[in-house]
Chain A
């Protein structure tokens, strides 16, 4: 197990380095002098020169890269051009909302997707199965922001059951009732991804249910619930875990639009605002953090395979 972890650990470091490199290179693609672009049309030459000095923009590119890496390791992503504050602080302020939203959405993904797929697989081509496949297919084809707006029109507008937008910190106010604001966004974000998880859970369960040991278990006279939960589901879990971990990226993508739709003060709406204002340091910071998180999630997924299936450790 230790060799496995070490091996993957090296991979993790390489990927992290590459991801940070790509973020750096992308920002090099900004046409013209970054300092001038960032300061806007009214900047004086002195201001531009000062900014070039602070960022080391007048140095050769490899020196800039080293500078960037060193800053990254110190958690220094520069200052926002618009807020005039450190990027990391701005992102940290916004993190809470996004984490809550992600948690609610993940709950929907796992709580809705996995049972739907497992139940559908028990009787293939039955009514549950066909309904599930139809809903999953539709779910995979609708944009989450559209679903969110439609739910908003229905539940916040017409019925008036739930708040339509906004969110106040739970950590600061201590009021868990604020989660009510995340029901609609969390559901619309999670539903689209639950569709994918349900499809995978179904096909993975179908594969496993055909195995000989399932027939044996049934022949032993075990109750079907025991066969399905203990024998089948555990073995079907690996593809399901993979897909759930894939949803990380898609949840982040979805959060960008969902947070904008529901006016939630999260990281997703922050990047949209930053793109509209051309606040490059913030964009760069969010990209780097999100991509590194993604790499870490992948690493954790790999480790969970080894825990779920001991055979993988020796490969």
Chain B
């Protein structure tokens, strides 16, 4: 009885210890480089903006005020207004949610497709030979061209189609990263040992390989996120992404094109939002890569 109590106490203490060590690890990660801290702060603010959305926006993002049209940044409209008199700040804030949502969905899609395929391709030689040929061939299509073609094939502009189109562009890149990581894990002594013990390939994959894939995959997901929100913005800018009535950064820049010389702020600010978001993900990706596995520098 006392033994049991002692054990649970010890367990609780060790769990507390573990949480503390994770916490201090995170803190170290965030503070080791000034840029990582800044990037994480940007990320948290973007998440906050996405979560609160219309609550913190000064105006309704879609409200037309023709008397206020094409105003430069001023006290009532901090970032100015567009050609319909809509408030740029409110629209840019409202575009944050859709951007993050698409970024997350696309990264998740690329992960769900890329992880299993890459792992199996890296583990089973014959399967790998065939699959990687196709993956390489798919990567021969420049990202935006493949995404454009997929949008044309899938039909109407829409959120689901954007996720599919951009996700299918980034999935092969995920397969590549997982594949090359699996190839090197496969050669590790612990995998050899497991094999020698007669552990089934399935169990080796799930218990030994998968765990060791976590670091490269996390890093790749971060970069996928950064690239995919940039690509979504490009699709929206070209008018083939999500429908124009949804406020998005790329869409705002598209609408502002005609007025770029008269009213450059319509394009300037959504672009700055996008660049800041991409920059913060790139910085976090770089820092994670250096922290989790410095060897990856060569692969990625």
Contacts and interface: CB of A to CB of B under 8 A. Distances in A.
B140 A295 contact: yes
B148 A140 contact: no
A272 B257 contact: no
Contacts of A81: none
B260 interface: yes
A284 B138 CA distance: 14
A287 B141 contact: yes
Category for how many chain B residues contact A: 35 or more
B283 A164 contact: no
Contacts, number: 134
Contacts of B145: 252-253, 256, 271, 286-287, 290
Nearest to A30: B153
Nearest to B35: A137
Contacts of B233: 143
Contact of A275 (B137, B148, B282): B148
A140 B257 contact: no
Overall SS of chain A's interface: helix
A137 B148 CA distance: 27
A146 B142 contact: no
Contact of B155 (A31, A142, A150, A271): A31
B288 interface: no
A141 interface: yes
A305 interface: no
A274 B152 CA distance: 9
Interface in A126-181: 137-138, 140-143, 145-146, 149-150, 152-153, 156-158, 164
Interface in A209-238: none
Given A22-B134, A137-B283, A294-B142, A143 B230 contact: yes
A212 B267 CA distance: 51
Interface string A13-46: 0110011011000110111000000000000000
B13 interface: no
Interface string B231-247: 00110011110000000
Indicate the member of A146, A249, A261, A280 with the most B CB atoms within 10 Å. A146
Given A149-B253, A253-B143, A276-B239, A283 B149 contact: yes
Nearest to B297: A203
B261 interface: yes
Interface in A264-304: 271-272, 274-276, 278, 280, 283-284, 286-287, 290-291, 294-295, 298
B271 interface: yes
Given A15-B140, A287-B145, 6 more contacts: A18-B137, A137-B282, A146-B267, A149-B264, A271-B148, A291-B140
Interface of B: 133-134, 136-138, 140-146, 148-153, 155, 226, 230, 233-234, 237-240, 253, 257, 260-262, 264, 267-268, 271, 274-275, 278-279, 282-283
